[in-house]
Structure 1
Amino acid sequence: MSSDFFQELKDRGLIFQTTDEEALEKQLNEESIKLYVGFDPTADSLHIGHLLPILMLRRFQQKGHVPIALVGGGTGMIGDPSFKDQERQLNTLSIVQEWSQSIKNQLSRFIDFEDEKAPAVLANNYDWLGSISLIDFLRDVGKNFTINYMMSKESVKRRIESGISYTEFAYQLLQAYDFLKLYENYGCLLQLGGSDQWGNITSGIELLRREKEVQGFGLTMPLITKADGTKFGKTEGNAVWLDPEKTTPYEFYQFWINTDDRDVIKFLKYFTFLTLPEIAEIERQFNEAPEKRLAQKALAKEVTTLVHGEEKYLQAIHISEALFSGEIKTLTAEEISQGFKGVPTYHVTADDSMQLLDVLVTAKIATSRRQAREDLQNGAIYLNGERVQTVEYILTDGDKLSGQYSVIRRGKKKYFLLTFV
């Protein structure tokens, strides 16, 4: 075991709270430990809010520890009240099971389930929560916790005034039971989670102590905040997903390349496997010439490659450069669909006029034929990156990129996508 692993986690700012830090550090530095993180399937994909705990599992595995990724097929049907202002919507068993499978597939990209020394474990708490009877649960788990103890948890206190159902109130018991079962099944002694999970984690440690007379450990990571006060993990109000169908690799890359100068070094420590000396050198160069955005480029490269692979990272670079230079014609159909996702789109049919002037009006790029004519004559219209000023211009097959798209730009920044059907 590496004697400086725990200190490195501290130096990266990845440790917010621990239970019995001295004993945990000794355990981590002297022997392999089994640890887990839970992921409730509340959607069909994980998002970058999950990335820090996923990468923590990977960090532990790289140091010879055994990570257990617990998919919450059971708890996902209840909903964790931690730091939530209102009750979650309950989902059906079939939906939760479908989402659980998607999450399993995603997790396998980050942690190694075939590792020779410390193969990761994939577990699903529906395996034990789905079959336990209410009477057994109340007798074996509920008897270990007083109402006063449960009420003292921050996740519960925050919701008492606005209201919390018994269903969500009992969530901490389910998570505590997970820790107990993972200890029984795998010898798991450490639970990781976000700082909002502290109450649930300590409940699990308490249950282990009472039922098995063993010392479990808890470690929480900091809540990620952005310097500008906006919520981390959102771009233009939408979540940044790990699924490339929900957030394209180009959008994903753009999220990281646009990181605030005040956050970028912290994020390099959190989200990349660059060494601390490497990050210190990037920081030195970044401070000397922040306008070159070296730190943002390093961050975007590392995280995009980690999540989507080098090919998709290079593709995101190509899209970015093509959009910046106006070399739209160099883009493939897939790159166009990524780079122009979300821009106004018009489907050109065989019944539509192919005169560019008419298309500008029917696609609502211009408000009238007069406006369209003026835009063309004034040089405000670009077709696939090239200025068009001919009022009588006719769209031909040569204007269809990959045989299916044309990109129109009006002015400096307003893009429109034509698709041909």
Structure 2
Amino acid sequence: MGIYEELQARGLIAQVTNEEEIREMVNAGKATFYIGFDCTADSLTAGHFMALTLMKRLQMAGNKPIALIGGGTTMIGDPSGRTDMRKVLTKEDIDYNASVFKRQMESFIEFGEGPGKAMMLNNADWLLSLNYVELLREVGHCFSVNNMLRAECYKQRMEKGLSFLEFNYMIMQSYDFYHMFQHYGCNMQFGGDDQWSNMLGGTELIRRKLGKDAHCMTITLLTDSQGKKMGKTAGNAVWLDPNKTSPFDFYQYWRNVDDADVFKCLRMLTFLPLEQLDEMSGWEGSQLNQAKEILAFELTKMVHGEDEAQKAQEGARALFGGGASTANMPTTELTEEDLADGQIGILDLLLKAGLIPSKGEGRRLVQQGGVSVNDEKVTDFGKSFAAADFGPEGLIIKKGKKVFHKVVLK
């Protein structure tokens, strides 16, 4: 089985421009392909998993990945999948986010010199030096406004208003492909299924300007059984940065996926052999929990290493199996300075533990019965805890049914 057939078997391929040519190219290890990552946050998320694992799979098959950091396109903002305009970041913010992305990608992809080694580029290096009038003269005639307005990435924004700034995004992304085709031999672009229109813009620009063919393939978006994008929990992103989402919480996110989603995630995200996954596909009942443990362990190992994955698994088993061990539970340390008159209120406690975004959200959570401390439900959002309440083991906060957090007082 070639890598293209494996991608098909794992349910990863959504759309392709020319299936036979792409199949032949990637199976022979002759693709130099790119995936773009706009630097809109200071960490990659679990939502980037699909792209990162795809790059790794194709690299293992001998193809050459280009990880394109969107230092330039982030200044415009991609309207795809959005109902509102993205926050405009400063160049300093973008540069910092780009440096973080690079460190995180290096744990997935092998960068370096030579055949098959990945490259990392930043489109700020060519986009920021473009002269606007020259750009319009060079590529403007290659884009039909009528076609652009029919693109799915713009359609959903038309009702609420699409800014001219964002309207330029397709041109910028297309120019990226055009530039890398000429200067780096990049002959393929991969991306999420919501990027199809932007990606076709690049192939059309290359065809019209250079008279040559380039290819693109979209990968299936990772959605749950309700059609919502995975990689988020309670409205917040699941980050790859352990300081933003602890290895324990990362493990728990995947351990708690719906029964209907576990085998899809195993196929699309892990590197377990397809033969093993085929054998597991008939699992039911308690075996589904075992499958979820395997999924959570494999993904946590990929992101945080085997030691952290082992700790997260042991901590979760002890916690949910009724054991007393809290050693590997996410922990926040407070000092006496965090207390007011020797006490701390439940809302401040939840905020400092990073379990709520605001006190208003904390009040609603408490009133709805969603908070327990040391196995006692907290129903009064005015409740406070004194230094003596922490004891030597600290306070164990339970948010909802499956989120646990320890707070200790130093």
For the criterion TM > 0.5, the same-fold answer is: yes
Distance 2:26 2:397 in 1: 57
Whether the 8 Å contact between 1:33 and 1:189 is mirrored in structure 2 is: yes
Against the structure 1 CA distance between its residues 347 and 267, is the aligned structure 2 distance closer, same or farther, given a 3 Å change threshold?
farther
Distance 1:94 1:382 in 2: 43
Q: Who is 1:14 aligned against?
A: 12
Q: Who is 1:93 aligned against?
A: 91
Q: Who is 1:205 aligned against?
A: 203
Query: 1:113 deviation in Å?
Result: 0.5
Q: Who is 2:296 aligned against?
A: 300
Q: Who is 1:318 aligned against?
A: 314
Distance 2:42 2:267 in 1: 28
Q: Who is 1:400 aligned against?
A: 392
Query: 1:237 deviation in Å?
Result: 2.1
Q: Who is 2:383 aligned against?
A: none
Q: Who is 2:359 aligned against?
A: none
Q: Secondary structure at the match of 1:267?
A: helix
Distance 1:352 1:150 in 2: 61
Deviations 1:376-407 (CA, angstroms, capped at 9, x unpaired): xxxx9969xxxxxxxxxx99899524xxx354
Whether the 8 Å contact between 2:332 and 2:406 is mirrored in structure 1 is: no
Whether the 8 Å contact between 2:26 and 2:58 is mirrored in structure 1 is: no
Query: 1:186 deviation in Å?
Result: 1.1
Whether the 8 Å contact between 2:152 and 2:197 is mirrored in structure 1 is: yes
Whether the 8 Å contact between 1:12 and 1:269 is mirrored in structure 2 is: yes
Distance 1:359 1:173 in 2: 52
Against the structure 1 CA distance between its residues 259 and 407, is the aligned structure 2 distance closer, same or farther, given a 3 Å change threshold?
closer
Q: Secondary structure at the match of 1:45?
A: coil
Against the structure 1 CA distance between its residues 115 and 7, is the aligned structure 2 distance closer, same or farther, given a 3 Å change threshold?
farther
Matches within 5 A, 1:2-401: 4-114=2-112, 117-284=115-282, 286-287=283-284, 289-291=285-287, 293-325=289-321, 327-328=323-324, 330-332=325-327, 335-336=328-329, 338=330, 352=342, 399-401=391-393
Query: 1:134 deviation in Å?
Result: 0.7
Ranges in structure 1 where 5+ consecutive residues have no aligned partner:
365-379, 384-393
Distance 1:413 1:181 in 2: 48
Query: 1:165 deviation in Å?
Result: 1.0
Residue identity opposite 1:419 in structure 2: V
Deviations 1:268-319 (CA, angstroms, capped at 9, x unpaired): 01100011101112223x23x4456121111111111011100110111222
Distance 1:107 1:95 in 2: 18
Deviations 1:6-38 (CA, angstroms, capped at 9, x unpaired): 111111110000001112112222342100000
Distance 1:144 1:184 in 2: 17
Distance 1:44 1:166 in 2: 26
Paired residues, number: 378
Say whether 1:420 aligns with 2:399.
no
Distance 1:79 1:235 in 2: 24
Distance 2:275 2:221 in 1: 25
Residue identity opposite 2:317 in structure 1: E
Distance 1:112 1:100 in 2: 17
Distance 2:286 2:28 in 1: 42
Deviations 1:53-86 (CA, angstroms, capped at 9, x unpaired): 1111111000000000000000011101112111
Query: 1:227 deviation in Å?
Result: 1.3
Q: Secondary structure at the match of 2:108?
A: coil
Q: Secondary structure at the match of 1:293?
A: helix
Distance 1:413 1:247 in 2: 15
Instruction: Supply the RMSD in Å over aligned alpha carbons.
Output: 3.4
User: Which protein shows a greater Rg?
Assistant: 1
Distance 2:172 2:147 in 1: 15
Against the structure 1 CA distance between its residues 414 and 171, is the aligned structure 2 distance closer, same or farther, given a 3 Å change threshold?
closer
Against the structure 1 CA distance between its residues 351 and 169, is the aligned structure 2 distance closer, same or farther, given a 3 Å change threshold?
closer
Distance 1:86 1:408 in 2: 35
Whether the 8 Å contact between 1:400 and 1:406 is mirrored in structure 2 is: no
User: Normalising by the residue count of structure 1, what TM-score does the alignment of the two structures yield?
Assistant: 0.81
Whether the 8 Å contact between 1:71 and 1:122 is mirrored in structure 2 is: yes
Query: 1:327 deviation in Å?
Result: 4.5
User: Normalising by the residue count of structure 2, what TM-score does the alignment of the two structures yield?
Assistant: 0.83
Q: Secondary structure at the match of 1:262?
A: helix
Query: 1:161 deviation in Å?
Result: 2.5
Query: 1:323 deviation in Å?
Result: 2.0
